[in-house]
A and B are shown apart, each in its own frame.
Chain A
């Protein structure tokens, strides 16, 4: 009998999912009753209701009478918090690295989105609702990121995109790009000096590119203008936007010296918005980062997997926070993304952050780093109805995510979590054997670069 129920669940799920393909991402309404509401920015409220209409939070108070016909979720004894935001992920993508060129500012992760990736559902099961999907770290200037909402159930990559989110781009320093291009391909950059040179050269050339086009476009306004347009390059179009400050830099960096280098480069080019990804040695330069408004997205205690990540500490997030750096905790991993609340909780032990400071690491702070804090990252009136509901306090080791809501739609429900949640099933799988981890094959930041290392799986 249980099997039968499961099968029905799959089909109703697929049926509801298929409606999504018709157009805009779905938005829903609901009343979450009587939970402990962790707003993050406006305190914690017990026995409180959250009213959601058409995907937006419209009321947070006690004893809200349910509007007729609205779905009511009883959160008695449960914790209701904003959906978790992850600034560093490579899930839901069909390609991560275009590693054939040192600079690939022209490529965009929006072109590689795959909404049917099961990893989206797994992230939802850890309370995550918004993520930044980044280009890998093979190139010095990688591709443009996409900020997506985990609207699992849609078949259309467009429905994943968070409408109106800022443009962001990946920059990578240190060992990955120097090994990829310098050591392997024998081209620039072989050293950290080379990395800086590539960035400065790209930005300077982008300024010249802008000047040529600005002049041409100005001349074109003159009546009867005759002349050839400058050469068009999608790469320099994007780089020009970075130099103009219209694209937030998401800079993969571990060491303090390269963080300082990048801060200087940004200062020289007048670029104000930069978020350092990983930043294991961020604690060494926290005041300098804070002074320039640079932010940091870090791991709790992940290090030692290559030379540049040995000098690390679990106190990193706390030190950065105490020095006024907007700090977040990110995953860079399809498994770790499912328990970011554990990662945040470690800062209670290592550095003594408050509960609200720790929760901010995975909610409002990553939202600030992505420029989407007016939409997500806290439970406030008018914000998107992205909600994670936990049994137990989210920072407790016993916490269990029970429901995840995106835009007022339930996307994960622990009571209705069937075994096979795939949206598309390959009827003729070439190989059904489980994927065995091969120590030489990269799954995250360097995904898709195996060829350049001269080995293949």
Chain B
């Protein structure tokens, strides 16, 4: 009897291996999605109503009214929903693992600390500090941000920024561009040189000049080393080389007016190409920003709006009058901050937005405040999609909803900029993340599953049940004597996943199922061993 079971299991395994081998030869069965009856805002001012959108292999595969839905596609009914290109964040610190910690070590002479202690590590890379499980990334994704320019932790010259897709894949898969810019700010380290803006500005100039000299000597040596002392490699200065060549911009966090002036003076003195980011007080310097050709990411943070009570009686005391006047000036200042985006728009300066110092929960409301202050919805959309794509040199891959672009999308139940709009799905790199599901997803009960192998459909059963805070399950097959336990059963939103072992020996291959639950059905893929993206569908028993 045991022998019989063993034979069955081995046979089953061979079937699977055979399928996988055949899969290579046949058109690959892949993950595809079809959003039906959706209003697509392809770009600012470009709309396609009641259309179908097909996503395949991480790309937007087809768009239009009369599109055939591929048989392997998971259909998502998106009636009356709005799809936009995924938003792009120009300066982001979400998910950066190594938080900056101040050293408590007391130096003998604070004038010459090790470069890392002084924040001088331009050779580091943000991508190496990315923690893909970080909740902050998920929060941004749920708002619709699918691409972020991630910067390393720390101040002054902490390292290189990276362009990251906000999926929950592995760190390597999330990275789109590993070195997008050299990141810097004007904040020194307390107690060591350079500690103030005075030292920071001087050190920036000195490092740049040293890098220029080192680079030019490197070139002389490479062209003909004979008789020349060997240049000693200095990764710190080498990090400046692409900036000197203008292959890479400097990304400067410049929130306040004086930061912007200082950074612009560095640009005009040294001649690098510049992106200023997290700009909060930029309106007095608009003309200078424009003539300098600097690229801009405005902050999505806004000062809190205070309502001034007009019905209140006029104060009579000197203190009361003065307090009233101060409140009026603060309100006026808040108005200027809110109108900043509109001012940049009117001045004809292309700009994107960034989340760096914004509270995530305030971002949609802040966008609406900027729109109320004079920015049009199309202009806001451009600042979230097409313009940042252009600034970052990614227009060929993202920024609009067009066939061939990376499937980065945000899908909301109403027009995104309306007060009551709720994001329903965010698609990152072709992977669909449901954000708001209309009804609670229920998966407990018996399921009939259908696996589409090349030899036809195989039908089995699974049973899912609540266990503690999570789920557990069992796999039944006519070919199995005893049922197999499922492991790692998880439900996130309407994303179901579980694992099981094809056999009961230690080296039995492990299979992973990832599926999207829609009502009383699910559709997804099986992966594991040499099994690649085999389609699996499930139907919940009627009695449930």
Contacts and interface: CB of A to CB of B under 8 A. Distances in A.
A105 B226 CA distance: 38
A427 B285 CA distance: 18
Contacts of A155: 257, 284-285
B228 interface: yes
A95 interface: yes
Interface stretch (A108-116, A252-260, A321-329, A386-394): A108-116
Contacts of A6: 325
Given A102-B111, A427-B334, A21 B202 contact: no
Contact of A108 (B190, B201, B209, B224): B201
B229 interface: yes
A426 B197 contact: no
A448 B224 CA distance: 50
B217 interface: yes
A178 B175 CA distance: 52
B108 A95 contact: no
Nearest to A185: B110
Interface in A439-457: 448, 451-452
A187 interface: yes
A100 B110 contact: yes
B288 A427 contact: no
Contacts of A187: 108-109
Contacts of A107: 198-199, 201-202
B21 interface: no
Contacts of B217: 228-229
A94 interface: yes
Contact of A97 (B192, B196, B284): B196
B333 interface: yes
B529 interface: no
Given A3-B321, A156-B261, A156-B285, A451 B304 contact: no
Interface stretch (A204-212, A372-380, A405-413, A416-424): A416-424
B220 interface: yes
Interface string A169-186: 000000000000000011
Given A227-B228, A232-B210, A425-B333, A111 B197 contact: yes
A95 B198 contact: yes
B195 interface: yes
Nearest to B261: A157
Contact of A94 (B197, B202, B326): B197
A425 B209 contact: no
A420 B217 CA distance: 56
A87 interface: no
A21 B284 CA distance: 7
A135 B288 CA distance: 28
A10 B333 CA distance: 13
A154 B220 CA distance: 46
B329 A425 contact: yes
Interface in A105-132: 106-109, 111-112, 114, 116
Interface string B49-90: 000000000000000000000000000000000000000000
A95 B333 contact: no
A428 B108 CA distance: 40
Interface centre among A111, A419, A425 (most CB of B within 10 A): A111
B198 A451 contact: no
B295 to A, nearest CB: 20
Interface string A354-382: 00000000000000000000000000000
Interface in A67-111: 94-95, 97-102, 104, 106-109, 111
A427 B338 CA distance: 11
A271 to B, nearest CB: 22
A18 interface: yes
B222 interface: no
Counting contact residues on chain A (CB < 8 A from B), the size range is 35 or more
A94 B288 contact: no
B304 A108 contact: no
Binding site secondary structure of chain A = loop
Contacts of B128: none
B136 to A, nearest CB: 23
Contacts of A438: none
Contacts of A452: 191
Contact of A98 (B194, B206, B303): B194
Nearest to B200: A111
B198 A135 contact: yes
A100 B194 contact: yes
Nearest to B286: A21
A142 to B, nearest CB: 9
How many chain B residues sit at the interface, stated as a range, is 35 or more
Given A94-B197, A109-B198, A111-B202, A420 B285 contact: no
B114 interface: no
B71 to A, nearest CB: 56
A401 B322 CA distance: 25
A155 B332 CA distance: 17
Contact of A112 (B110, B111, B194, B197): B197
A7 B332 CA distance: 12
A235 B194 CA distance: 13
A157 B202 CA distance: 17
A27 interface: no
B213 A234 contact: no
A349 interface: no
A22 interface: yes
B304 to A, nearest CB: 6
B288 A156 contact: yes
A98 B186 CA distance: 14
Which among A109, A232, A420 has the highest number of chain B CB atoms within 10 Å?
A232
Interface in B314-335: 321-322, 325-326, 328-334
A180 B198 CA distance: 18
B227 interface: yes
A226 B227 CA distance: 9
Interface in A53-67: none
A16 interface: no
B337 interface: yes
B258 A98 contact: no
A452 B199 CA distance: 16
B196 to A, nearest CB: 4
Nearest to A101: B111
A143 interface: yes
B193 interface: yes
A192 interface: no
A424 B193 contact: no
A21 B108 CA distance: 45
A90 to B, nearest CB: 12
B205 interface: yes
A126 B114 CA distance: 47
19 contacts: A23-B287, A100-B194, A104-B198, A108-B201, A111-B198, A155-B257, A155-B285, A156-B288, A227-B228, A228-B231, A232-B213, A233-B206, A234-B202, A420-B326, A424-B333, A427-B304, A427-B331, A429-B330, A448-B196
- Please list the 6 inter-chain residue pairs (A to B) with the smallest Cβ-Cβ separation, ordered nearest first: A101-B111, A427-B303, A111-B201, A95-B196, A155-B284, A100-B193
Given A97-B198, A158-B261, A187-B109, 17 more contacts: A3-B321, A95-B197, A98-B194, A98-B195, A101-B199, A107-B198, A107-B199, A111-B198, A112-B196, A155-B284, A226-B228, A228-B229, A233-B206, A235-B206, A422-B329, A424-B284, A448-B196
Interface of A: 3, 6-7, 10, 18, 21-23, 94-95, 97-102, 104, 106-109, 111-112, 114, 116, 135, 143, 155-158, 185-187, 226-229, 232-235, 419-420, 422, 424-429, 448, 451-452
